[in-house]
């Protein structure tokens, strides 16, 4: 009689005696893990209607979910007994495991607990142009040591503006000017505005008298270009007032340019705030030609957007780099 009732509920079984229920044996190649929650509730309620109400589904949707569970597990799971449903031995076997898995998944997916900086152990890779570590590194490291002594900062060089290292996870945070090669998915936040200034050694001929565009152009210059170009924004600005300059050296970074200016009569043009420490002992002067200001920004990949530790570090960098912008 019990078998007849089962066959009435699941007619396909009658074609596949003995009772292995092969009509439920074609499991999906990639099971829908949402079915774990459905199974947990069905086994707890023992009723399609009650489970549907608990999960805020229609009874027909819950019935379809139960059919998918039967197909996936190869077992009827819940069978009619009088006016209710009772679990099969396979359902009883799965019950404890499913409940544990659902609880673990819920714990895993709940919002991150409050960040405990004192116990945080993590390493962050920061990619910056030369000048960042010299200017902002000591203050940033001091704040990190005070708030999260278990955190390590790895400063890595920035040879280009390629977003690949951030996308691949090799770099956690970057500073610089947002350019055309910055990936469209990259998150950005402005840190400060900067302006270009001229720099020469103490006692340089430009240290006396008014620095005009003509006197500036007449000197020998250092061009900073990571791509090795022989022309830059200063040349464009001088050309607008009918002047040209002599580029005596091309270097790839600010530190190299300022080292050459310190030991020669060459003129370097660098961002003012970004190179503050590097310019100590040198004469800095406003440029006699007009160059557009630049915005130094913080850049990171969106996968780290909501990470509490990464958010904390972004806040520290912004604090350290904050302050009044040059006028």
- The percent helix, strand, coil of the chain (3-state, each to 5) is 45, 20, 35
Helix segments in the chain, DSSP class H: 2-9, 34-45, 48-54, 59-73, 89-109, 132-147, 164-168, 213-218, 233-240, 254-262, 308-321
Report the distance separating Cα 137 and Cα 143, nearest Å.
10
What b-and-e string marks burial along 174-200, b requiring 16 or more CB atoms within 10 Å of the CB?
bbbebeeebeeebeeeebbebbbbbbb
Report the distance separating Cα 313 and Cα 143, nearest Å.
10
Q: 């495991």: which residue's tokens?
A: 97
List, in sequence order, every residue forming a beta bridge with 295; answer none if it has no partner: 193
Share of the chain above pLDDT 70, in %: 86
Q: The whole model's pTM is what?
A: 0.64
Question: How large is the average pLDDT for residues 257-280?
Answer: 96
Query: Is 280's pLDDT higher than 80?
Result: yes
Question: How large is the average pLDDT for residues 85-112?
Answer: 78
Question: How large is the average pLDDT for residues 75-93?
Answer: 86
Domains recognised in the chain with CATH numbers? 2-109 (1.10.10.10), 117-194+295-321 (3.40.190.10), 196-292 (3.40.190.10)
Q: 């950005």: which residue's tokens?
A: 188
pLDDT, tens digit, 9 for 90 and up, residues 207-246: 999 999 999 999 999 999 988 888 999 999 999 999 999 9
Give phi and psi for 190, each to the nearest 5.
-65, 135
Query: Is 22's pLDDT higher than 50?
Result: no
Paired tokens of 271:
């961002």
Query: Is 96's pLDDT higher than 60?
Result: yes
Of 12-21, 26-35, 173-182, 245-254, where does the model show the most confidence? 245-254
Between 288 and 180, the higher pLDDT residue: 288
The answer for 144, left when phi > 0, alpha when psi is -120 to 50, beta otherwise, is alpha
**How many other CB atoms sit within 10 Å of the CB of residue 221?**
23
Within 8 A by CB and 6+ apart from 273, the residues are: 135, 192, 194, 296, 323, 325, 326
Q: Report pLDDT for 161.
A: 74
């Amino acid at each position: 009689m019990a078998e007849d009732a089962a066959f009435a509920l699941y007619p396909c079984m009658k074609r596949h005696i003995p009772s292995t229920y092969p009509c439920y044996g074609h499991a999906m190649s990639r099971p829908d893990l949402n079915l774990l929650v459905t199974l947990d509730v069905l086994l707890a309620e023992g009723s399609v209607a009650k489970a549907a109400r608990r999960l805020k589904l229609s009874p027909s949707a819950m019935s379809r979910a139960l059919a998918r569970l039967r197909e996936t597990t190869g077992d009827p799971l819940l069978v009619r007994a009088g006016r209710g449903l009772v679990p099969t031995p396979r359902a009883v076997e799965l019950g404890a495991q499913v409940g544990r898995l659902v609880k673990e998944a819920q714990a895993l997916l709940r919002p991150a607990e409050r960040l405990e900086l004192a116990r945080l152990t993590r390493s962050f890779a920061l990619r910056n142009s030369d000048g960042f570590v010299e200017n902002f590194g000591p203050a940033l490291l001091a704040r990190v040591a005070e708030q999260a002594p278990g955190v390590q900062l790895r400063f890595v060089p920035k040879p280009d503006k390629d977003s690949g290292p951030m996308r691949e996870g090799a770099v956690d945070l970057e500073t610089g000017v947002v350019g055309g090669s910055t990936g469209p998915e990259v998150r950005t936040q402005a840190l400060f505005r900067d302006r270009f200034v001229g720099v020469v050694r103490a006692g340089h001929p430009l240290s006396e008298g008014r620095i005009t565009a003509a006197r500036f152009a007449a000197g020998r210059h250092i061009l900073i270009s990571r791509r090795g170009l022989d022309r830059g924004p200063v040349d464009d600005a001088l050309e607008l007032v009918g002047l040209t300059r002599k580029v005596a050296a091309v270097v790839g970074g600010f530190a190299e340019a300022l080292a050459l200016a310190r030991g020669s009569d060459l003129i370097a043009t660098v961002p003012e705030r970004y190179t503050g420490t590097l310019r100590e002992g040198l004469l800095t002067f406003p440029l006699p030609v007009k160059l557009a200001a630049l915005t130094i920004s913080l850049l990171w990949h969106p996968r780290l957007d909501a990470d509490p530790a990464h958010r904390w570090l972004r806040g520290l960098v912004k604090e350290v780099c904050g302050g009044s912008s040059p006028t």
